[in-house]
């Protein structure tokens, strides 16, 4: 453009327009504020959600390292340090444990460890909070976690205070007085004590015997598999993953990408809708200006200048609001929750300047794009055309072969699609808004206490007879539960099923040939070998046990077809004959580990079992299969221990109900698992069960209730839930505002047309009917889109959530979908008619005149 | 017999010093089948008068009676329904509904009244106005003259008591203008249609049966038939 003096004239017009269109300006600025606010807040809440989730995992795991290897040789250590995908290598030494009873008679458990500087700084410090003092440097210094301090009865720790401790290390029981060099808050739930390198060296600890290497790898879990191949391990060594292994699945990436796209998309459409309408409403005015000699460039800059002004006001306000929410209100609420004990995890608020830069950039670009197209159109349009310009005039349809277009419902239908581009935009924004709500909610709702309990507990309530859980149980077990008790539990309302596990200790006839394979494998890894005794010497010792009737193990019922089917699917080479097992002819021995599988050697052999009960008699069982640890896990049987600590005997033998019948008629109920129908009844059923429990006269049992797990979970997830729900609610509000906005602008922009319709005799009632019908079409099509594409997206979410957290289970948000669709219909059916009523106050002729000028 | 009568119509805009008397005691009467032109300079109040007659605007005082019914005593909805049954409008800027094609625009006022179009009559109008070949077109594909002919057809379709035309040729060139006026004149005679037309074009006004002249909100001449 030439530098000329008409700039001030354009400025004057612009000023006039800004003044004349107060409401429009307010709307435009509001849309920009809202969008900026939404983008900033959602992303900042989202990032805080993820960071806090990660922080929580790291804190509860007590390390940020990915894998650890205990007792590495010098060669292995060297090899690992040389691997290029190993980021950091820290070392830990387990140097002892405090074991004493405090005044309340409670056993103390404080692990004493030495961490090297790398381990402390890179892998541990992030998992703790409120660190006071410094890591111990001299031999008599110690650093304790608050847990450890409170176990020791110290409520007000001071630096350099004396801490007398009695503890065990590799040299036996020790008494020593340490000075406190610091303390911290940890989240692992165990007492931690740290000592200095000097102490560790002087007490004679070495890497190969007591050390643990803990490693952060570049890429989990790929590098975890790599390192297992690259580093050769000894028999008893294995790499263990510290943090639950998360795999970055493609469905997670796709879901996050789509969600971000939907969020940005609906923000864009919100601004675009408002600016598009406000600018196209002025097209006649621009035509007039052109008639008066304003150039294209001038009109363009006129439009854009206004948009820039809106942005200059709207974006900062949005950012300030978002900051107030993300860094003011949210941390306040989180802290409140922490202080009131609703949360055990203090939330950290993360500041990511990139969010701000991105939000500002994004909002600015959006404003620019959304004013660019109408500005161009306004500038290009010929003056005469501009004067005749009507909003939403169909541009492409030249003719239509119909005669019923004047019917109200047909008019409503044509109105929706008169401007295809706009119709698509409208449906896009409605669909995106709702789908993103459903997606985010889907992710958050999938991580519930209920799902957590499903993953980590086999039953909602687990009763265990603790006599069966001992490393040694010298006395014959006294039954703790009886059939009457089980019956009482079954009577409680809302109980889905009650699994009863029956167990009996049985002697195993010492059949050397049948047991040979088993014993040979066991011997290699036994204390007999490590003490230098021969295989034959071991056999002699075992014979001794057998003669005194101590050679045997617990036999327990397994009544779980699913587990067997899964086993058969997993091990097609060594299937278990399910029918024979159910008939009680065979038994299953367990459990083997990955590096030695003695039980597998028993398969095919026949063992003679004699139950330790009044009716116990020698009964033959063919071993029909052997479980690895991974094959079968059930909290009712997992903790079953031994009567006598004889290493060379199966840990446990599973039989069916029929098998147990053959063995004895009087097995003991060792565990009861109770599932309930509706998780919401948990609290109530817990109460009823507690009442039944109080009728028991025995005491050697314990009940694990999901209610504790639920509380723990809720406390742990309090802050992340709050963040997630905050984002989700915000999205719902924005999504619905988008709906209202689209419906509203659709009516406001057609004010003149309605005036024409009225002038030729359409009543207000009829117009409202058209608008309501139109709203119905919008609602119907939106619903259709949600039920198809929206659900397709939810399928993706369902596929993705288990990769975010292993216990997460996606549940179709029926209530939310119904609620949102209802809200859509209410908005679509009511907003247009209401807006019309409000805007049609002036007489027909006034409105017609507005149109003319 | 007078199909339309106005008595002492007044319309005052603003108040105090800014008070404008757009209509200042206008009394006219129009007989059935008459083709009347209302002329006057811009700002004389002729459009305001037409809007009052059509029930689009309410006067400050006075009365409008069409077929013996007093418009001002009706409620809004009632008035709208009365309007669509008794008055056909032809606007300077046509005011066709952009979502409907030509045929749908023409029968729209009948359909919103819930009535069935008198197809024979509609066909006749379409024939008279020469729109047979354009029925499926959308309004934005028609020339100004064609659009105005659609508007006239729409106004006629309900067999209204009166057609009110506000500068129907205001946006048209002189040849098209003359065509449209001739059509309106022919229709007035063929269908015995009462028509009131506003214009400031003396030549067009000459073609009417009678001319009512308005100046400064007052009838100067022609308010009553044969009173010129």
Q: What is the pLDDT of residues B93-145, one digit of tens each?
A: 888 887 788 998 888 888 888 777 788 888 988 988 888 998 888 888 888 88
Whether residue A845 and residue B138 make contact (CB cut-off 8 A), yes or no, is: no
Report the residue from A401, A411, A762 with minimal CB separation from B99. A411
Q: What is the pLDDT of residue A511?
A: 87
pLDDT in tens, A386-423: 555 554 444 556 677 777 767 778 888 887 887 777 77
Report the residue from B89, B112, B138 with minimal CB separation from A394. B138
The interface residues of chain A toward chain B in range 412-431, judged by CB-CB distance below 8 A, are 414-415, 418
Cα–Cα dist A306/A375, whole Å: 11
Closest residue in B to A395 (Cα–Cα): B140
Cα–Cα dist A473/A480, whole Å: 15
Q: Who wins on pLDDT, A504 or A353?
A: A504
Query: pTM for this structure?
Result: 0.65
Report the residue from B99, B111, B136 with minimal CB separation from A415. B99
CB B88 within 8 A of CB B184: no
- Can you give the three-state secondary structure of A466-490, one letter per residue? HHHHCCCCCCCCCCCCCHHHHHHHH
Cα–Cα dist A846/B6, whole Å: 22
Closest residue in A to B88 (Cα–Cα): A760
pLDDT band at A853 (very low <50, low <70, confident <90, very high): very low
Cα–Cα dist A710/A724, whole Å: 18
State the average pLDDT for chain B.
86
Q: What is the pLDDT of residue A136?
A: 92
Give the HSE-up count for residue B46: Cα atoms under 13 Å, Cβ half-sphere: 24
Tell me if chain B has a CB within 8 Å of the CB of A396.
no
Whether residue A753 and residue B97 make contact (CB cut-off 8 A), yes or no, is: yes
Per-residue CA distances from A829 to A185, A434, A758, A763, A783 (Å): 56, 17, 21, 18, 14
Q: What is the pLDDT of residue B228?
A: 40
Cα–Cα dist B195/B213, whole Å: 16
Tell me if chain A has a CB within 8 Å of the CB of B1.
no
Q: What is the pLDDT of residue A255?
A: 78
Which residues, listed in sequence order, are joined to residue A216 by a DSSP beta bridge? A88
| Residue of B42, B58, B82, B112 for testing the chain A interface, max A β-carbons within 10 Å | B112
**Residue B11: pLDDT over 50:** yes
Which residues, listed in sequence order, are joined to residue A388 by a DSSP beta bridge? none
Q: What are phi and psi of A457, to 5 degrees?
A: -125, 140
Cβ contacts of A441 within 8 Å, gap of 6 or more: A728, A813, A816
Q: Which helix (H) or strand (E) segment is B221 a member of? A: strand B218-221
State the average pLDDT for chain A.
81
**Residue B13: pLDDT over 90:** no
Which of helix, strand or coil describes residue A175? strand
Cβ count within 10 A of residue B174: 11
CB A66 within 8 A of CB A240: no
Of A707-711, A748-752, B160-164, which gets the smallest average pLDDT? A748-752
Q: How many residues does chain A have?
A: 853
Tokens 């088993």 sit on residue: A518
Q: What is the pLDDT of residue B227?
A: 44
pLDDT band at B64 (very low <50, low <70, confident <90, very high): very high
Q: What is the pLDDT of residue A660?
A: 92
Whether residue A403 and residue B97 make contact (CB cut-off 8 A), yes or no, is: no
Whether residue A753 and residue B140 make contact (CB cut-off 8 A), yes or no, is: no
Which residues, listed in sequence order, are joined to residue A676 by a DSSP beta bridge? A495
Q: What is the pLDDT of residue A5?
A: 57
Cα–Cα dist A533/A648, whole Å: 14
**Residue A448: pLDDT over 70:** yes
CATH of domain B2-221: 3.40.50.300
Cβ count within 10 A of residue A762: 27
Nearest to A308 by CA among A692, A25, A51: A25
Q: What are phi and psi of B78, to 5 degrees?
A: -60, -45
| Residue of B42, B46, B98, B160 for testing the chain A interface, max A β-carbons within 10 Å | B98
Q: What are phi and psi of A837, to 5 degrees?
A: -60, -45
Tell me if chain B has a CB within 8 Å of the CB of A401.
yes
b/e string for A132-161 if b means 16 or more Cβ within 10 A?
ebebbeebbbbbbbbbbbebbebeebeeee
Of A210-224, A782-796, B54-68, which gets the smallest average pLDDT? A210-224
Q: What is the pLDDT of residue A388?
A: 55
Report the residue from B84, B101, B103 with minimal CB separation from A760. B84
Cβ count within 10 A of residue A266: 27
Chain B residue numbers touching A757 (CB-CB < 8 A) = 97
Q: How many residues does chain B have?
A: 228
Cα–Cα dist B159/B157, whole Å: 5
The predicted model gives A33-54 an average pLDDT of: 79
Q: Virtual CA dihedral for A602, A603, A606, A608, nearest 10 degrees? A: 60
Q: Which helix (H) or strand (E) segment is A632 a member of? A: none
Q: Who wins on pLDDT, A384 or B217?
A: B217
Q: Following DSSP, what letter does each residue of A713-748 receive, concatenated? A: HHHHHHHHHHHHHHHHHHHHHHHHHHHHHHHHHHHH
Closest residue in B to A760 (Cα–Cα): B84
Chain B residue numbers touching A753 (CB-CB < 8 A) = 97-98
Cα–Cα dist B222/B31, whole Å: 13
b/e string for B51-76 if b means 16 or more Cβ within 10 A?
bbbbbbbebeebbbbbeeeebeeeee
**Residue A243: pLDDT over 50:** no
Cβ count within 10 A of residue B132: 9
Tell me if chain B has a CB within 8 Å of the CB of A238.
no
Q: What is the pLDDT of residue A386?
A: 55
Q: What is the pLDDT of residue A328?
A: 80
**A552-557 and A652-655: which strand pairing?**
parallel
Cα–Cα dist A326/A259, whole Å: 20
Tell me if chain A has a CB within 8 Å of the CB of B113.
yes
Nearest-Cα distance to chain A for B138, in Å, is: 5
Nearest-Cα distance to chain B for A352, in Å, is: 50
Nearest-Cα distance to chain A for B228, in Å, is: 31
The predicted model gives A342-369 an average pLDDT of: 76
Report the residue from A398, A406, A761 with minimal CB separation from B100. A406
Chain B residue numbers touching A845 (CB-CB < 8 A) = 51, 56-57
Report the residue from A390, A401, A405 with minimal CB separation from B100. A405
Chain B residue numbers touching A761 (CB-CB < 8 A) = 80-81, 83-85, 87, 109, 112-113, 158
pLDDT in tens, A283-335: 667 777 776 777 777 778 887 888 888 889 988 999 898 888 877 877 777 77
The predicted model gives A175-200 an average pLDDT of: 86
| Residue of B46, B99, B101, B106 for testing the chain A interface, max A β-carbons within 10 Å | B99
pLDDT above 90 as % of chain A: 7
CB A458 within 8 A of CB A636: yes
Nearest to A740 by CA among A258, A270, A98: A270
Across A326-330, A354-358, B184-188, the highest mean pLDDT is recorded for: B184-188
Q: Virtual CA dihedral for A540, A545, A549, A550, nearest 10 degrees? A: -150
Which of helix, strand or coil describes residue A231? coil
**Residue A519: pLDDT over 80:** yes
Q: What is the pLDDT of residue A36?
A: 85
CB A345 within 8 A of CB A49: no
Chain A residue numbers touching B85 (CB-CB < 8 A) = 761
The predicted model gives B175-185 an average pLDDT of: 86
Q: Who wins on pLDDT, B66 or A844?
A: B66
Q: What is the pLDDT of residue A100?
A: 63
Cα–Cα dist A829/A835, whole Å: 11
pLDDT above 70 as % of chain A: 89
The interface residues of chain A toward chain B in range 739-778, judged by CB-CB distance below 8 A, are 753, 756-766
Cα–Cα dist B214/A106, whole Å: 109
pLDDT in tens, A480-495: 898 899 999 999 888 8
pLDDT band at A655 (very low <50, low <70, confident <90, very high): very high
Of A369-378, B170-179, B181-190, which gets the smallest average pLDDT? A369-378
Closest residue in A to B48 (Cα–Cα): A845
Alpha helices in A571-656 (DSSP H): 578-583
Chain A residue numbers touching B80 (CB-CB < 8 A) = 758, 761-764
Nearest-Cα distance to chain B for A746, in Å, is: 14
Distance of CA A317 to the CA centre of its chain: 33
Of A759-768, B190-199, B210-219, which gets the smallest average pLDDT? A759-768
Tokens of A482: 């009886």
Nearest-Cα distance to chain B for A402, in Å, is: 7
Nearest-Cα distance to chain B for A786, in Å, is: 28
Chain B residue numbers touching A405 (CB-CB < 8 A) = 99-101, 104
Longest pairwise C-alpha distance within chain A: 117
pLDDT band at B63 (very low <50, low <70, confident <90, very high): very high
| Residue of A396, A760, A853 for testing the chain B interface, max B β-carbons within 10 Å | A760
**Residue B196: pLDDT over 90:** yes
**B194-199 and B35-39: which strand pairing?**
parallel
Q: What is the pLDDT of residue B162?
A: 92
Chain A residue numbers touching B58 (CB-CB < 8 A) = 843
pLDDT in tens, A594-614: 667 888 888 888 999 999 888
């Amino acid at each position: 453009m030439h530098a000329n003096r008409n700039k001030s004239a354009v400025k004057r017009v612009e000023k006039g327009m800004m003044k004349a269109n107060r409401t429009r300006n307010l709307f435009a600025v509001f849309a920009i504020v809202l969008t900026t606010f939404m983008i900033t807040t959602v992303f900042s809440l989202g990032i805080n959600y993820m960071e806090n989730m990660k922080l929580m995992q790291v804190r509860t795991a007590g390390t940020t390292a990915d894998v650890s290897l205990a007792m590495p040789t010098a060669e292995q250590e060297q090899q690992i340090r040389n691997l290029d995908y190993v980021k950091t290598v820290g070392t830990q030494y387990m140097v002892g444990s405090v074991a004493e009873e405090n005044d309340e008679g409670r056993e103390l458990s404080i692990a004493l460890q030495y961490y090297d500087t790398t381990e402390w700084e890179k892998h541990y410090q992030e998992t703790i909070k409120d660190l006071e003092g410094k890591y111990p440097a001299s031999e008599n210094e110690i650093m304790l976690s608050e847990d450890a301090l409170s176990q020791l009865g110290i409520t007000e720790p001071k630096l350099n205070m004396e801490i007398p401790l009695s503890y065990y290390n590799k040299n036996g029981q020790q008494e020593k007085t340490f000075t406190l060099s610091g303390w911290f808050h940890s989240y692992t739930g165990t007492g931690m004590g740290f000592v200095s390198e000097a102490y560790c060296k002087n007490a004679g600890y070495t890497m190969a015997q007591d050390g643990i290497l803990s490693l952060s790898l570049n890429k989990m879990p790929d590098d975890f598999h790599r390192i297992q191949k690259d580093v050769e391990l000894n028999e008893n060594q294995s790499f263990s993953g510290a943090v639950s292994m998360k795999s970055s699945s493609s469905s997670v990436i796709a879901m996050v990408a789509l969600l971000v796209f939907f969020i940005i998309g609906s923000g864009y459409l919100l601004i675009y809708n408002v600016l598009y309408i406000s600018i196209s409403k002025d097209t006649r005015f621009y035509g007039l200006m052109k008639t008066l000699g304003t150039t294209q460039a001038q009109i363009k800059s006129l439009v854009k200048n206004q948009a820039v002004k809106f942005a200059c006001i709207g974006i900062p306000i949005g950012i300030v609001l978002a900051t107030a929410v993300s860094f003011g209100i949210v941390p306040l609420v989180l802290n409140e929750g922490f202080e009131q004990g609703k949360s055990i995890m203090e939330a950290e608020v993360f500041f990511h300047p990139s969010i701000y830069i991105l939000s500002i950039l994004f909002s600015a670009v959006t404003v620019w794009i959304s004013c660019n197209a109408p500005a161009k159109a306004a500038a290009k349009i010929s003056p005469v055309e501009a004067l005749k310009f009507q909003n939403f005039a169909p541009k492409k349809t030249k003719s239509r072969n119909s005669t019923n277009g004047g019917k109200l419902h047909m008019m409503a239908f044509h109105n929706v699609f008169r401007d295809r581009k706009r119709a698509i935009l409208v449906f896009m924004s409605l669909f995106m808004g709702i789908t993103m709500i459903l997606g985010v909610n889907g992710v958050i709702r999938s991580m519930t206490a209920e799902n957590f309990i499903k993953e980590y507990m086999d039953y909602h309530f687990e009763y265990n007879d603790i006599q069966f859980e001992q490393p040694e149980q010298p006395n014959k077990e006294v039954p703790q539960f009886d059939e009457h008790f089980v019956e009482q539990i079954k009577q409680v309302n809302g109980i889905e099923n009650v699994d009863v596990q029956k167990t009996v200790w049985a002697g195993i006839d010492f059949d050397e040939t049948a047991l040979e394979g088993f014993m040979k494998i066991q011997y290699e890894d036994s204390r007999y070998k490590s003490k230098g005794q021969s295989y034959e010497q071991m056999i002699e010792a075992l014979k001794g046990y057998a003669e005194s009737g101590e050679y045997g193990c617990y036999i327990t019922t397994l009544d779980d077809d699913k587990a067997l089917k899964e086993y058969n699917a997993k091990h097609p080479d060594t299937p278990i004959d399910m029918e024979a097992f159910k008939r009680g002819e065979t038994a299953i021995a367990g459990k083997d580990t990955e590096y030695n599988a003695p039980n597998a050697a028993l398969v095919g052999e026949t063992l003679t079992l004699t139950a330790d009960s009044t009716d116990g008699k020698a009964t033959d069982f063919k071993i029909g299969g052997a479980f690895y640890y991974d094959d079968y896990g059930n909290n009712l049987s997992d903790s079953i221990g031994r009567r006598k600590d004889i290493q060379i005997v199966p840990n446990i033998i599973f039989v069916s109900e029929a098998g147990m019948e053959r063995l004895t008629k009087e097995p003991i109920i060792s565990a009861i698992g109770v599932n309930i129908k509706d998780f919401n009844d948990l609290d109530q059923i817990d109460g009823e069960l507690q009442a039944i429990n109080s009728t028991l006269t025995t005491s050697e049992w314990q009940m694990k209730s999901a209610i504790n797990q639920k509380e723990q979970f809720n406390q742990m997830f309090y802050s992340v839930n709050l963040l997630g729900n905050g984002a989700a609610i915000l999205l719902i509000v924005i999504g619905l505002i988008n709906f209202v906005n689209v419906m509203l602008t659709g009516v406001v922009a057609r004010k003149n047309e309605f005036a024409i319709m009225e002038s030729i005799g359409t009543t207000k009632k009829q117009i409202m009917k058209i608008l309501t019908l139109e709203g119905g079409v919008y609602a119907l099509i939106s619903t259709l889109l949600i039920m198809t594409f929206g659900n397709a997206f939810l399928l993706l979410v369902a596929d993705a959530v288990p990769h975010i957290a292993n216990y997460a289970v996606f549940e179709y948000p029926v209530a939310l979908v119904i609620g949102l669709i209802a809200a859509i219909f209410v908005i679509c059916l009511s907003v247009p008619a209401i807006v019309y009523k409000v805007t049609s106050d002036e007489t027909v002729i006034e409105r017609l005149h507005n149109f003319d000028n | 017999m007078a199909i339309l009568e106005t008595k002492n119509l007044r319309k005052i805009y603003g108040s105090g010093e800014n008070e404008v008397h757009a209509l200042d005691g206008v009394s006219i009467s129009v007989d059935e089948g008459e083709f009347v032109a209302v002329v006057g300079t811009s700002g004389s109040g002729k459009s305001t008068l037409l809007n009052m007659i059509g029930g689009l605007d309410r006067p400050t005082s006075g009365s409008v009676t069409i077929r013996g019914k007093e418009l001002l005593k009706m409620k809004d909805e009632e008035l709208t329904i009365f309007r669509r049954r008794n008055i056909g409008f032809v606007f300077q800027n046509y005011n066709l509904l952009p979502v409907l094609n030509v045929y749908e625009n023409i029968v729209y006022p009948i359909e919103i009244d819930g009535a069935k179009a008198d197809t024979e009559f509609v066909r006749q109008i379409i024939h008279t106005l020469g729109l047979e070949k354009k029925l499926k077109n959308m309004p934005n594909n028609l020339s100004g003259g064609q659009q105005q002919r659609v508007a006239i057809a729409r106004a006629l379709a309900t067999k209204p008591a009166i057609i009110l035309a506000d500068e129907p040729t205001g946006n048209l060139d002189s040849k098209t203008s003359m065509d449209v006026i001739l059509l309106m004149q022919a229709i007035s005679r063929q269908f015995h249609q009462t028509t009131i037309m506003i214009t400031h074009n003396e030549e067009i006004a000459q073609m009417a049966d009678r001319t009512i002249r308005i100046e400064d909100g007052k009838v100067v001449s022609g308010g009553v038939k044969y009173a010129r």
